[in-house]
Amino acid sequence: MDDINDLRLFARIVEAGSLSAAARLLDSSPAAMSRRLSALETRLGVRLATRTSRRFDLTVEGVAFHERVQAILSAIEEAEREVSVSARVPRGLLCVGAPSELGRKRIAPLVLEFSERYPHVEVRLVLSDIGLDVVDDNLDVALRIGLPPDTGVIAKKLLASRRVVCAAPAYLARHGLPDTPESLGQHDCIRLVRGQRTFDRWMFVEDGRPREVQVRGTLSSGSGEVVHDWVLQGRGIALKAHWDIESDLADGSLVECLSQFHCDAIELYAVFASKKHLSPRVRVFLDFVQERLSR
């Protein structure tokens, strides 16, 4: 940056016509102007101007150098203008990760709407039932259930809901409705798997106190969508996020069980690397998704 500042100083001296005039414009002194100009000449190994108290004339080398300096400074100004405009208009590639079922049902439609509003942003939506990592998976934003274990990233809560014990009417007609969390032990429960962990301990809250209940069943899957399909087909009882089955509860395809025992809460977070120098495309996407999901 010192080199660029020297070029800007030289251009201002030439524009002003003398060291004293340049000093007045820059709130400095003629002696300081002379020292900096001499330092520039020493670094270049050439005399750029002859100057006295009343005259300031460029040498042949000074004229040629001034022409190049003007071209360089113009290019820098143009680059700064382009970056400044780009910083105000969302554009470029935006990589977003989300859980498969939530991503397909809720996030993918929002991405389409977002893309229509911001046509200069190219959106890449990555869906996975294995927790995505902003840094390792090269994402701008990762939508994930629960807070991330990495404290070096920023997490912004987008949505809060609860988990729901649910079953299809056909299953309940055959096996009956569970009336307590413990009665789930007599039912075929469809469990979610993450890596080597099977989620077979379901959390309930009774009289303000949490408690876990061990469940068993013949079916388990690492895919939330598969679990959803199986419970819709009447193959067992499942524990699902309310936002995944909201429409099924509304149209009667699924029935909520044990609603009086209040299953544990579930929260959706947007995770991104840093708030510092957040690109416009990430900023507007976060605001857009939060506004839409809050509806």
Residue 238 shares a structural domain with residue 119? no
Burial class of residue 228, CB neighbours in 10 A (0-12, 13-18, 19+): buried
Mean pLDDT of the chain: 89
- 98 vs 284: CA distance, rounded Å: 17
In this structure, the answer to whether residues 151 and 277 fall within a common structural domain is yes
User: 3-state class of 189 per DSSP?
Assistant: strand
User: Both tokens of residue 202?
Assistant: 């379901």
Residues 187 and 278 in one domain: no
Tokens of 222: 């690492």
d(CA 7, CA 16): 14
Say if residues 234 and 172 touch (Cβ distance below 8 Å). Answer: no
Residues 191 and 228 reside in one and the same domain: yes
Question: Could you give the CA distance from residue 30 to residue 7 in angstroms, rounded to a whole number?
Answer: 17
Which range in 27-31, 49-53, 90-94 is most confidently predicted, on average pLDDT?
90-94
Domain containing 129 — which CATH number?
3.40.190.10
For residue range 93-149, what is the model confidence (pLDDT) as tens digits? Answer: 999 999 999 999 999 999 999 999 999 999 999 998 887 788 788 899 999 988 887
Domain count across the chain: 3
Residue-wise pLDDT for 117-131, tens only, equals: 999 999 999 998 887
Percent above pLDDT 90 for the chain? 53
At 78, list the tokens.
Answer: 């143009």
Q: What is the pLDDT of residue 276?
A: 66
- Provide the residue range defining the domain that includes 144: 92-157+267-293
Q: Which of 88, 107, 142 is the last residue of a domain?
A: 88
- The residue type at 165: V
Whether 260 and 121 map to the same domain: the answer is no
Strand 201-206, strand 237-241: pairing: unpaired
Is 215 strand, coil or helix?
Answer: coil
Tell me which residue of 201, 187, 191, 257 sits closest to 224, measured CA to CA.
191
Give the pLDDT of residue 275: 67
Helices (H), 182-241: 224-232
CB atoms within 10 A of CB 267: 15
Q: Are 58 and 25 members of one domain? A: yes
Residues 120 and 187 in one domain: no
> Residue 58 belongs to a domain with what CATH number?
1.10.10.10
Check whether residue 40 and residue 127 sit in a common domain.
no
pLDDT at 30 over 80: yes
Q: Residue with structure tokens 């044990």?
A: 258
The model's pLDDT over 173-212, given as tens digits with 9 standing for 90+, comes to: 999 999 999 999 999 999 999 888 899 999 998 887 888 9
pLDDT at 157: 92
Which pLDDT belongs to residue 86? 58
What does the pLDDT read at residue 264? 83
- Alpha carbon 4 to chain centroid distance? 35
* Chosen domain end from 65, 88, 111: 88
**Residue 89: φ, ψ to 5°:** -110, 115
Q: What tokens does 26 get?
A: 């820059």
Q: Does the structure show a pLDDT above 80 at 83?
A: no
* pLDDT at position 219 over 80: yes
Please state, in angstroms and as integers, the Cα–Cα distance from residue 136 to each residue in 133, 139, 154, following that order: 5, 8, 15
Q: Are residues 55 and 25 in the same domain?
A: yes
- 142 and 232 within one domain: no
Amino acid letter for position 124: R
Is 43 found in the same domain as 102? no
pLDDT tens for each residue of 7-22 = 888 888 888 888 888 8
Among 34, 58, 88, the domain-final residue is: 88
Q: Which pTM does this prediction carry? A: 0.66
Could you give the CA distance from residue 184 to residue 215 in angstroms, rounded to a whole number? 6
Separation of alpha carbons 287 and 292, rounded Å:
9
Which of these ranges, 43-52, 145-154, 257-266, has the smallest mean pLDDT?
145-154
Contact 255, 166 (CB under 8 A): yes
Say whether both 34 and 122 belong to one domain.
no
Residues 6+ apart with CB under 8 A from 91: 120, 121, 280, 281
